[in-house]
Structure 1
């Protein structure tokens, strides 16, 4: 048996607003939005994320996303105000983007 990539569902206040951020600031593609089901999806290359609309308080999600060229990804996502690129002691070169709903995307590559 072999499994494929997982698709996390991140909590958001508005799927439409979240998709706009992911498209405009991060270069993702908005794939679909099911308004009645309050869920949508975005993707970038082989990375796919579900965006799940929630009411009331929620805990933002954390996702680790591998990038073949983390430096180019950082440069492409400058509109999202990413953290500085860092070589971490645990063997990753990474930066973090936080979406308007507080979800954190740690974009990384192995050192």
Structure 2
């Protein structure tokens, strides 16, 4: 690419998480994480949720499967922690400053997928 050429714009990646039951995952993300249910294919093999500019796809897998890990930057990690706690999210690691310098907490979903919410 030349010095004056600008790269094409690409969108934000959309993770596809393995889940045992797509509808159950959608309902959990709605109720415990504040997402909106987007769509569900008629065979219930794949569906989606969204929250602001974040979308997540779910695909039904037969357990056991490898859960996924996602790092989520939170502009106000204290407010995010309070909100998700009040919604009943499964906080498996409380909000604290980690030895690597980030203030961070961890949420685990019904299928073992992990979300590390963090701020510098």
Evaluate the alpha carbon distance shift between residue 69 and residue 34 of structure 1 in structure 2; reply closer, same or farther with a 3 A threshold.
Answer: same
The alpha-carbon deviation at position 37 of structure 1 amounts to 6.0
Q: 1:87 to 1:5 in 2, by over 3 A?
A: same
Q: Given the two structures, how large is their TM-score scaled by the length of structure 1? A: 0.90
TM-score (norm: length of structure 2): 0.84
Aligned length: 110
CA deviations on 1:89-110 (whole Å, 9 max, x unpaired) are: 333221110001000011122x
Partner of 1:38: 45
**Contact in 1 for aligned 2:22/2:44 (Cα 8 Å):** no
For residues 76 and 41 of structure 2, what CA distance do their matches in structure 1 show?
32
Q: 1:15 aligns with which of 17, 22, 28?
A: 22
Instruction: Tell me the equivalent position of 1:88.
Output: 98
Gaps of 5+ in 2: 1-7
Q: Which has the larger radius of gyration?
A: 2
* Pairwise CA distance, 1:35: 3.2
C-alpha distance 95-16 of structure 1, shift in aligned 2 (>3 A): same
Residue 31 of structure 2: aligned partner:
24
Cα separation, partners in 2 of 1:21 and 1:37, compared to 1, 3 Å: closer
- CA distance in 2 between partners of 1:76 and 1:92 (Å): 19
